[in-house]
Amino acid sequence: MPDSPGSAQDWTEPGAFEVVPGVHRIPLPLRFDALKAVNVYALEDGERLTLIDAGWALEEARQVLEDCLGRIGYDLGAVQRFLVTHVHRDHYTLATVVRRLFGSRIALGEDERDSLVGVREAENTGAPVSEISRLFRYGAEDLARRLLEKGDWDAIDPGLWEDPDEWLSDGMRLPVGARTLEAVHTPGHTRGHLVFVDAAAGLMFSGDHILPHITPSIGFERARPDRPLRDYLRSVRLTLRLPDLRMLPAHGPVAPSVHARSDELLAHHRRRLDETAATVAQGARTAYDSAKLLTWTRHHRRFDELNGFNQMLAVSETAAHLDVLADDGRITMQIADGVTCYAPLD
């Protein structure tokens, strides 16, 4: 079935949608997330397939993947390799399930190693304990305690966080049948995020780096770097220096221009930095204070309308913006009793 971006068709509807000959977009279901689905892309290579991203290790996602591959004449065992854009559960974990069944190979960006090892070695309650613990530093002690007490985390079998077969580095060229994909390191959404560029076909498999409708979350990862927003903005500028390509994102429909969306994302973060600076002028002193004064999602929800998990993402992202403001000399930053505090310039 041809993929028809811009049509009224809901991008999350199950199916195998042909983007260009030999490349199919297959949306797989997620659970509990605000996001409804994740796209995996199946690239034909004769009898075999390479998949970009794998989906979340849910039984229903595996079923849908199997059915949709069947519609284009392949079975799950035809998947020879997964190229995974980043280590978040909705992209990585189904790959290890399929590898156990069929021996497929998995490749992941080398800078995801610390996060992967960290998740695997964490005492597994299913809760992202180290991400939650960071909330103390952001002044969100009550939110942290609420999340730590919450018992219903959707635990992923810790055994699924296995190492990939191959660690990919920036600039690696990956032949897939007649195509050559280039791995481009785009840290920010996660530190080891990769996009895959098929320059000859004018395509970018953009993962969660550039998304059509939403702004990718920043700084939610086990091994969080110091300045994830700084990294992210640099990576968006990097995508603007590449030729403009068609965007094949992990969430949302295929869109005509990576550049157009990259410009919008840079404008969004410029605005967001201004709004965040304004919260400090209004008296916010921690990332938690500031997050509560901002609105969230493209529907401008109030902070207290978000669930606990999304509040955690919101506070973490606000901290990323405040740190950049402090680096730029627009506000001051100091650490007091383990809490990072910000203030307006005198």
Query: Integer distance in angstroms from the first to the last C-alpha of the chain?
Result: 61
Give least dist CB 146 to Zn ion, A: 24
Q: Which of 12, 97, 33 is nearest to 62 (CA)?
A: 97
| CB proximity list for 189: less than 8 A, separation 6 or greater | 86, 207, 208, 209, 216, 217, 218, 232
Give least dist CB 245 to Zn ion, A: 20
| CB proximity list for 333: less than 8 A, separation 6 or greater | 322, 323, 326, 340, 341, 342
Give least dist CB 45 to Zn ion, A: 26
Give least dist CB 28 to Zn ion, A: 14
Residue 88 or residue 230: which is nearer to Zn ion going by CB?
88
Q: Which of 192, 194, 191, 193 is nearest to 182 (CA)?
A: 194
Q: Do 86 and 107 touch, CB atoms closer than 8 A?
A: no
Size of the site for Zn ion (CB under 5 A): 2
Q: Which of 86, 82, 89 is nearest to 61 (CA)?
A: 89
Q: Is residue 208 near Zn ion by the rule CB under 5 A? A: yes
Give the tokens for residue 216: 């990718």
Give least dist CB 208 to Zn ion, A: 4
**Which residues is 327 bridged to in the sheet?**
none
Which residue stretch of 4-12, 85-93, 105-113, 169-177 sits at the interface with Zn ion (rule: CB under 5 A)? Answer: 85-93
Q: Is residue 131 near Zn ion by the rule CB under 5 A? A: no
Residue 277 or residue 313: which is nearer to Zn ion going by CB?
313
Residue 208 or residue 317: which is nearer to Zn ion going by CB?
208
Residue 5 or residue 192: which is nearer to Zn ion going by CB?
192
| CB proximity list for 304: less than 8 A, separation 6 or greater | 292
Distance CA 65, CA 185 (A): 27
Give least dist CB 43 to Zn ion, A: 21
Per-residue x/- track, 163-202, Zn ion (CB under 5 A): ----------------------------------------
Q: Is residue 317 near Zn ion by the rule CB under 5 A? A: no
Give least dist CB 293 to Zn ion, A: 26
Give least dist CB 333 to Zn ion, A: 27
- Of the candidates 25, 88, 230, 269, which one interacts with Zn ion according to CB under 5 A? 88
Residue 115 or residue 279: which is nearer to Zn ion going by CB?
115
Distance CA 186, CA 22 (A): 26
Q: Is residue 222 near Zn ion by the rule CB under 5 A? A: no
Write the burial class of residue 113 (CB in 10 Å: 0-12 exposed, 13-18 middle, 19+ buried): middle
Determine the angle formed by the axes of helices 129-137 and 308-327, rounding to 10 degrees: 50
Taken as a whole, the chain contains a residue count of: 346
**Which residue in the shown chain puts its C-beta closest to Zn ion?**
88
Distance CA 261, CA 215 (A): 10
Give least dist CB 332 to Zn ion, A: 32
Q: Is residue 112 near Zn ion by the rule CB under 5 A? A: no
Residue 62 or residue 88: which is nearer to Zn ion going by CB?
88
List of residues contacting Zn ion (CB under 5 A): 88, 208
